[in-house]
Amino acid sequence: MNDLAHRFGRRRVDPEERTRLIRDVFRRVAPRYDLMNDLMSLGIHRYWKRVLVHEAEHAAPRRVLDLAGGTGDVAWKLARGDRAVDVCDPSLPMMQVGRRRGPANRIGWVGGCGERLPFRDQAFDLVTIAFGIRNVTHLDVTLQEIRRVLRPGGRLLCLEFSRPAPWLAPFYDLYSRLVIPRLGAWVSRNPDAYLYLIDSIRAFPDQETLAEHFRAAGFTGVRYHNLSFGIACIHQGVRPPGDAS
């Protein structure tokens, strides 16, 4: 059970090995991933994603990329009217679960990683990424790629786990260490995979540090707001309207 935790948490992992290990995690948990999200978050992740979709609707996007979209639970909420939505994810098993949810013509499903997005420049009005950016191997390269595929004036919306308020942190830490791996063992029979997911949350930058990464990648209007006392957070940024690079 501790093999993944050892390889991620006890020594420095080669980037290519990290990518392979993460893909293996999501291959193993794909069939019950959405159920596990419901159990681990007590269903609150659905509220967080509704807030993300509500933020997205303010931009009135015509073409949307849901990066690291997995089973498409965000993409299906965004796929309204004649809006074009593409899910891009390196995990084919996760996307296979999502494709079974509805008509194939509503959403495009494209295999690819954040560091090398298989889309042309300035292809999208909006990029969303929900609980996926902490799993990319090169955060800054991914943010630059997102900026590349956004049209000038287009927006990035990122929903991710973050740093909870100090009064909540000890309780959250106890829950994540004691409860979530046991749920993973019971429901998905992959407790080591969920140990990795918890460790990836702990290692991810806090709210302001991630905002600085957005700014360094060339996004403007960078801001964020906490959800559930900072357990999760939505960051957003805009590709500058005059940016033609």
219 in any annotated domain = yes
Strand order in the sheet with 124-130: 107-111, 84-89, 63-67, 124-130, 150-161, 232-238, 220-227
Could you read off the pLDDT of 124-138 as tens digits, one per residue? 999 999 999 998 989
CA distance 8 to 191: 14
What's this model's pTM, rounded to 2 decimal places? 0.87
Better-scored residue on pLDDT, 168 or 203 = 168
CA distance 28 to 49: 23
243 in any annotated domain = no
For the chain, the domain total comes to: 1
Name the pLDDT band for 7 (thresholds 50, 70, 90). Answer: very low
244 in any annotated domain = no
CATH number at residue 216: 3.40.50.150
